[in-house]
């Protein structure tokens, strides 16, 4: 063998050993690869967003090798479609929207059955809150006829709620004077400027946008009577009350409708991660309630109730460990 061939052979062996060493060193690093958790929320002036920020912090602080992010969205319908596409790991959604996504309701904004959706937990009820300026003269649902109202972002959970309630009250969008499809914060700004008369917002009690509005202009919280709720014909909608003094100037309890919120994930999220997403939220409820008072209604006992989609196996395992499921 020539000197040149010997050098080439030795060089190849050294290169091979270097590659093997690199693989050996890299292997433990790969085993600890970061997991990404994108939390899908809603508009920044709603309740989903601050709770999503709190969840993101909880997961980043308590689940090893997890990197989190928070995405502001148009809420329920967009979140569910993003989860089906694998473009988020956990998201907030209204129970009726989740049911329609599971059945593939095209009119509601779902092109087909979103069969990858899995539940992490039932969390807290949303209250469909219809708020009018006192100057508008709106006191009842019937008074909305001919008036200007914002019903939420197009095909959002809020807007689906608006359609259902108006239909049960014998009204259509065509009966209204003007319909705006805007998120909470923008709707409130239009009301402050007297460009619309009312806004319908589906959120936890004490939502920032309505609190802001009530401190700026006198408002009327419009009742949704129990008989109207019954006419909706969907068990996801429950008659309830908005307690007195929830907002400035609202001195009496007002009949309303509530719909449960659900934390949703998808089937491709690993069981171990889904287990920790459920566990760490309940282990750190002080962080959730500090983010928004609506989280005070989140309880471990109710976490598996009224879910229109299957629990993620990882979350189910946690609830069995916690004694919620037998």
In this predicted model, what pLDDT tens digit does every residue of 16-45 receive, in sequence order? 444 444 434 444 444 457 899 999 999 898
Gap between the terminal Cα atoms of the chain: 74
Q: Clarify whether residues 102 and 130 are in a common domain.
A: no
Listed residues 235, 259, 283: the one ending a domain: 259
Among 208, 232, 259, identify where a domain stops: 259
Mean pLDDT, residues 235-253 taken together: 94
Per-residue pLDDT at 45: 84
My answer on whether 312 and 249 are in the same domain is no
Does residue 282 sit in the same domain as residue 242?
A: no
Whether residue 188 has pLDDT greater than 50: yes
pLDDT at 135 over 50: yes
The verdict on 153 and 251 lying in the same domain is: yes
Give the residue from 208, 226, 259 where a domain finishes.
Answer: 259
Q: Is residue 8 part of a domain?
A: no
Q: Nearest-CA neighbor of 262 among 204, 322, 307? A: 307
Identify the CATH number of the domain in which residue 100 sits. 3.40.190.10
Task: Please say if the pLDDT value at position 117 is more than 90.
Answer: yes
Report the distance separating Cα 102 and Cα 82, nearest Å: 14
User: pLDDT at position 59, please?
Assistant: 98
Based on the fold, state whether residues 277 and 237 are members of the same structural domain. Answer: no
Mean of the per-residue pLDDT values for the chain? Answer: 90
In this prediction, residue 32 carries a pLDDT of: 59
- The whole domain housing 244 covers 126-259
For 18, residues 6+ apart whose C-beta sits below 8 A from its C-beta are: none
The pLDDT, as a whole number, for residue 38 is: 98
Q: State how far the alpha carbon of 295 is from the alpha carbons of 52, 104, 281, 309, in Å.
A: 11, 29, 11, 22
Structure tokens at 87: 């473009």
**Residue 281 in this model has a pLDDT that exceeds 60:** yes
> What pLDDT shows up at residue 85?
98
Q: Looking at the predicted structure, is the pLDDT value of residue 7 above 70? A: no
Asked if 221 and 131 count as a contact pair (C-beta separation under 8 A), the reply is yes
Q: For residue 26, what pLDDT is reported?
A: 41
Q: Are residues 198 and 240 in the same domain?
A: yes
139 shares its domain with 220: yes
Mean pLDDT score, 166-191: 96
Same domain for 239 and 280?
no
pLDDT of residue 42: 93
In contact, 252 and 244? CB cutoff 8 Å: yes
Residues 64, 110, single domain; the answer is yes
pLDDT of amino acid 156: 85
47: left (phi over 0), alpha (psi -120 to 50) or beta: alpha
Which one is predicted more confidently, 260 or 11?
260
Contacts of 137 (CB under 8 A, 6+ apart): 143
């Amino acid at each position: 063998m020539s000197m040149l061939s010997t050098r080439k052979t030795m060089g190849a062996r050294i290169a091979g050993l270097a590659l093997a060493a690199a693989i050996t060193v890299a292997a433990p690093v790969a085993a600890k690869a970061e997991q990404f958790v994108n939390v899908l929320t809603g508009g920044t002036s709603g309740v989903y967003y601050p709770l999503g920020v709190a969840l993101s912090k909880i997961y980043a602080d308590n689940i090893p090798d997890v990197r989190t992010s928070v995405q502001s969205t148009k809420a329920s319908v967009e979140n569910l479609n993003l989860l089906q596409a694998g473009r988020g790991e956990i998201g907030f959604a209204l129970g009726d929207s989740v049911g329609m996504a599971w059945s593939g309701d095209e009119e509601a904004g779902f092109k087909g059955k979103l069969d990858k959706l899995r539940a992490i937990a039932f969390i807290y009820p949303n209250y469909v809150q219809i708020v009018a300026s006192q100057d508008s003269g709106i006191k009842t649902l019937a008074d909305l006829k001919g008036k200007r109202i914002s019903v939420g972002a197009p095909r959002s959970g809020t807007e689906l709620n608006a359609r259902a309630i108006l239909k049960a009250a014998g009204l259509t969008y065509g009966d209204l004077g003007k319909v705006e499809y805007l998120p909470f914060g923008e709707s409130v700004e239009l009301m402050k400027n007297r460009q619309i008369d009312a806004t319908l917002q589906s959120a936890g009690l004490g939502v920032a946008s309505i609190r802001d509005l009530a401190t700026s202009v006198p408002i009327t919280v419009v009742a949704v009577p129990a008989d109207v709720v019954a006419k909706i014909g969907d068990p996801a909608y429950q008659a309830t009350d908005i307690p007195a003094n929830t907002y400035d100037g609202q001195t009496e309890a007002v009949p309303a409708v509530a719909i449960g919120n659900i934390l949703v994930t998808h089937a491709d999220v690993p069981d171990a991660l889904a287990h920790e997403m459920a566990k760490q939220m309940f282990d750190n409820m002080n962080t959730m309630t500090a983010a928004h008072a609506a989280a005070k209604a989140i309880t471990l006992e109710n976490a598996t109730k009224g879910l229109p989609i299957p629990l993620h196996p990882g979350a189910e395992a946690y609830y069995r460990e916690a004694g919620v499921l037998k």
